[in-house]
Structure 1
Amino acid sequence: MNTTIMLFLLQDGITNGAVYALLGLALVLVFAVTRVILIPQGEFVTYGALSYAMLATGQVPGTVKLAVAMGVVAFGLDLFFARKALHARLVLRSVALNIVFPVALLALTYALVGRNTPIAINIALALLIVAAIGLFLYRIAFQPIAHTSVLVLLIASVGCHLALQGLGLVFFGAEGLRGPALSNAAVSAGPLRFTGQSLAVYGLTVAFIVALWLFFGYTKTGKALRATAVNRLGARLVGIRTTLSGQIAFLLASVIGAISGILIVPITTLYYDTGFLIGLKGFIAAIIGGLVSYPLTAVAAILVGIVEAFSSFYASNFKEVIVFFLIIPVLVLRSLAAPAVEEEKD
């Protein structure tokens, strides 16, 4: 291997690692606030990327119809759980969020979709669609069981992943799709060439890390989310709406996932199930970060991307094995560092 090849591999690894960092940050965010290990994070990537690709070809993606259907279900759940204390304000708020918003989004998509629609509008529509799905997913699948154990939440998360992946096959088919690049600009630095797409990946990753740090450290909403993560019951006792905290966490995670997909789809062909593998690599970074540290998760994601790039060069057949092996020493070290707990006797 010469220096030029090594630089190319490092560039590729950092680009991929930046995407994994975004997904790792979303996973840490959701787990910190709701205790949910968000397995469907990969589906947010797929839905965002393929919805954007379909909109760019002038087609209406099935995901926007899914958002409407999920909104109707969420509205029904709101009425059911509040049946003993129904009042006009609650009903109107639920109608606005669960019915009016997704229906308006559906109408807006049909009105704006076309082959000549600007890229910015297609991106905005894709983000809104996935954000609505993420918001309704929490309301339908996780909010009713928010008080249960992490294991129950994990099982629900796996079920949501399988359901969304199957729906992805229905909406997008088995064929892969690619979307238009955000920018055709390019910058050369010696033997390396940085495209506008890769620069967007770097810029958005850094921006999200800084934004999350500022959000959780200096805003009331961010501090409320942190309080919910530390003690859900205590947060409720001091007036923090833990349900709203979960909704915000899922909303942010779905938007981050959709942005990641939109950044990836011009670079490589994505299929309905590709997001799961990409999400798993973000999950590895989140585990290395302990599911609590945003900076450590970002650094771990870059490491995962670099290891993947060099593994592709030296042992492409075992690339995934090598990447997923990174999680084993971390789990062993955390297990050894954890305090011993005696098993309860019958």
Structure 2
Amino acid sequence: MDFSIASILMLDGVTNGAIYALLGLATVLVFTVTRVIFIPQGEFVAYGALTLAMLQTGKIPGTVWLLLIMAALAALMEGVALWRHSGHPGRALKATLKTLIFPVIVSGLSIWAAPQQFSLWIQAALSVAIVTAFGPLVYRVAYQSLESSPPLVLLIVSVGVHFAMTGLGLLFFGAEGFRNPPFWDERFNLGPVAVSGQTVIIFAVSLALIVLLWLYFERSLRGKALRATAVNRTGARLMGISSHSAGQLTFLMAAFIGALSGLLIGPTTTVFYDSGFLIGLKGFVAAVIAGLSSYPGALLGALFVGIVEAFGAFWASAFKEVIVFTIILPVLLVRSLRAGHSDEDH
């Protein structure tokens, strides 16, 4: 291996690591606030890329119909729960309409815009809006009623949600893979390395999103409320911070990050209905390296995973996935030796 090959592999690893960093941050965010190890994070990635691919062909994405079904189910659950709790039909109806309004608007806009063949950027924004709307609905349907359950129960639910979303992806998108066009079709030569415009966009968007997340948690009231919930759920609830709202907002952000990651990775690789699992799992490895608690640690862990994957693919391409996922074993061993025994609820 010479310097030029090492440079190309390093660039490829850091590029993939930027995507894994976003997914690792989303995994840490969801776990710290809701105690949910969100395995289906990668499905948001696949849904984002495949939704854009469907819009590119002028067809209405299947995710639109799934979004309407999920919205109706979540609205029904929310209305019935509030009616039983408060006994006021008016409040229940208001909560139902509040749950429905955003998904219905996004779905209606998508149905109208799909045959219009708008520009790639408009279709990308629409794809992000569709997938982002899934976040609060998934939390309401699958997790909200179980938010006080032990982490093991929430993990089992995550496995079920993963299989459900993967199966629905096969139903709506089929077994065929899609690769989206790049957002910036340009190339820059930096010595032995050729940097594509899509790579520049990946770095720019990833860095911008990380900075925006930091500003959100440091400066905004809602961001501080999420941090308070992550530190002490009971204390945050006593201070008037709704755990339901915190969970839905967290899943909204996770879905947005997943959808955006899908748009970034779509032009660099062919995405299938089940591609999100492996992609999300690499983000999960980065989150585990960070102990599922540190955002900077997740960022560094993701870059490490991306570089190991790139060099592993060069030296032993048949075992690159094995090499990446084996990283998690010594990390877990070291953490288990350093941490004392604790109850799973803690």
Range class of TM-score, shorter chain: over 0.9
Q: Which amino acid aligns with 2:49?
A: A
| Partner deviation per Cα, 1:89-132 (whole Å, 9 max, x = no partner) | 4422421332x332222221121113631112111111111111
Does the 8 A contact of 1:56 with 1:114 survive in 2?
A: no
Alignment match, 2:74? 74
Secondary structure at the counterpart of residue 303 of structure 2: helix
Secondary structure at the counterpart of residue 193 of structure 1: strand
1:317, distance to aligned residue in structure 2 (A): 1.1
222-231 or 113-122, larger mean C-alpha shift: 113-122
Does the 8 A contact of 1:56 with 1:115 survive in 2?
A: no
Does the 8 A contact of 1:57 with 1:115 survive in 2?
A: no
The gaps in structure 1 that reach 5 residues or longer are none
Does the 8 A contact of 1:56 with 1:180 survive in 2?
A: no
Structure 2 CA distance, aligned partners of 1:342 and 1:104?
44
Structure 2 CA distance, aligned partners of 1:229 and 1:298?
19
Does the 8 A contact of 1:24 with 1:283 survive in 2?
A: yes
For the structure 1 residues 160 and 342, does the alpha-carbon distance in structure 2 shift closer, same or farther, using more than 3 Å as the test? closer
Structure 1 CA distance, aligned partners of 2:281 and 2:329?
14
Alignment match, 2:93? 91
Alignment match, 1:150? 151
> Counterparts of 1:119-268 in structure 2 under 5 Å?
119-268=120-269
Alignment match, 2:322? 321
Structure 1 CA distance, aligned partners of 2:44 and 2:115?
23
Secondary structure at the counterpart of residue 133 of structure 2: helix
For the structure 1 residues 54 and 134, does the alpha-carbon distance in structure 2 shift closer, same or farther, using more than 3 Å as the test? same
| Partner deviation per Cα, 1:151-179 (whole Å, 9 max, x = no partner) | 11101111000000000000110010111
| Corresponding residue pairs, total | 342
Q: Which amino acid aligns with 1:306?
A: I
| Partner deviation per Cα, 1:2-46 (whole Å, 9 max, x = no partner) | 111000000110111111001001101111111111101010000
Structure 2 CA distance, aligned partners of 1:42 and 1:211?
21
Structure 2 CA distance, aligned partners of 1:275 and 1:54?
17
Alignment match, 1:34? 34
1:204, distance to aligned residue in structure 2 (A): 1.5
For the structure 1 residues 341 and 173, does the alpha-carbon distance in structure 2 shift closer, same or farther, using more than 3 Å as the test? closer
Alignment match, 2:115? 114
Secondary structure at the counterpart of residue 114 of structure 1: helix
Percentage identity across paired residues of the two chains: 51
Structure 2 CA distance, aligned partners of 1:185 and 1:89?
54
Structure 2 CA distance, aligned partners of 1:341 and 1:270?
40
Q: Which amino acid aligns with 2:324?
A: V
Structure 2 CA distance, aligned partners of 1:260 and 1:70?
22
Alignment match, 1:65? 65
Secondary structure at the counterpart of residue 205 of structure 2: helix
1:53, distance to aligned residue in structure 2 (A): 0.9
For the structure 1 residues 83 and 122, does the alpha-carbon distance in structure 2 shift closer, same or farther, using more than 3 Å as the test? same
Structure 1 CA distance, aligned partners of 2:343 and 2:131?
44
Q: Which amino acid aligns with 2:268?
A: I
Secondary structure at the counterpart of residue 82 of structure 1: helix
| Partner deviation per Cα, 1:278-326 (whole Å, 9 max, x = no partner) | 0000000000011111111111101100100001110111111111111
Structure 2 CA distance, aligned partners of 1:134 and 1:161?
13
| Partner deviation per Cα, 1:52-79 (whole Å, 9 max, x = no partner) | 1111111111001101000100111012
For the structure 1 residues 97 and 342, does the alpha-carbon distance in structure 2 shift closer, same or farther, using more than 3 Å as the test? closer
The gaps in structure 2 that reach 5 residues or longer are none
1:340, distance to aligned residue in structure 2 (A): 4.1
Q: Which amino acid aligns with 1:257?
A: G
Structure 1 CA distance, aligned partners of 2:296 and 2:65?
37
Alignment match, 2:11? 11
| Partner deviation per Cα, 1:133-155 (whole Å, 9 max, x = no partner) | 11100010011111111111101
Secondary structure at the counterpart of residue 140 of structure 1: helix
Pairwise CA RMSD: 1.5
Structure 2 CA distance, aligned partners of 1:340 and 1:318?
34
Does the 8 A contact of 2:75 with 2:95 survive in 1?
A: no
Secondary structure at the counterpart of residue 187 of structure 1: strand
